Amino acid sequence: MNIALIAHDDKKDDLIRFVTAYKDIFKEHALYATGTTGKRLMEATKLPVHRFNSGPLGGDQEIGAKIARKEMEMVIFFRDPLTAQPHEPDVTALVRLCDVYSVPLATNMGTAEVLIRGMKYGLIDWVEEHKK
């Protein structure tokens, strides 16, 4: 499964802790991330991560393009709802694409944990079938 990992600046440490906690699950999948998030994830977990540009420089849009081509099966995006983001239209577009293409999206640790645990037990295998 192709999984996108994104985090706003104040949420990057949370995402790193999350991926580290579920490293045994994540290592079985292809990981994609926006710039700095991907770099920090690779350094902390030693997992291979394909890096796109940072979010403000188009990374969110690059992930959105993979969603539109049915090449991304899950998005974990730890958003910071308390800080204005200069690239908010890109974030909104990414969330909309997840809805349009029925791509599971977690925007916080609680939802991400439900998705990852569900993936571990095969409860979201429908995602693979849906992209065909």
Helix (H, G, I), strand (E, B) or coil at 51: strand
Give me the catalytic one of 13, 60, 99, 125: 60
Tens of pLDDT, residue by residue over 11-43, are 999 999 999 999 999 999 999 999 999 999 999
Query: Could you give the residue ranges of the DSSP H alpha helices within 34-108?
Result: 35-45, 59-68, 88-100
Vertex 30 angle, CA 28 and 36, to 5°? 120
Entry field: residues in the chain? 132
CATH (domain of 78):
3.40.50.1380
Token pair of 122 as six digits: 């095969």
Residue 13 annotated as catalytic: no
pLDDT, one tens digit for every residue, the chain (132 residues):
999 999 999 999 999 999 999 999 999 999 999 999 999 999 999 999 999 998 888 888 999 999 999 999 999 999 987 776 766 777 889 999 999 999 999 999 999 999 999 888 877 765 565 555
For helices 88-100 and 59-68, angle between their N-to-C axes, nearest 10 degrees:
10
pTM above 0.75, yes or no: yes
Domain hosting 52: range is: 2-130
Total domains, the chain: 1
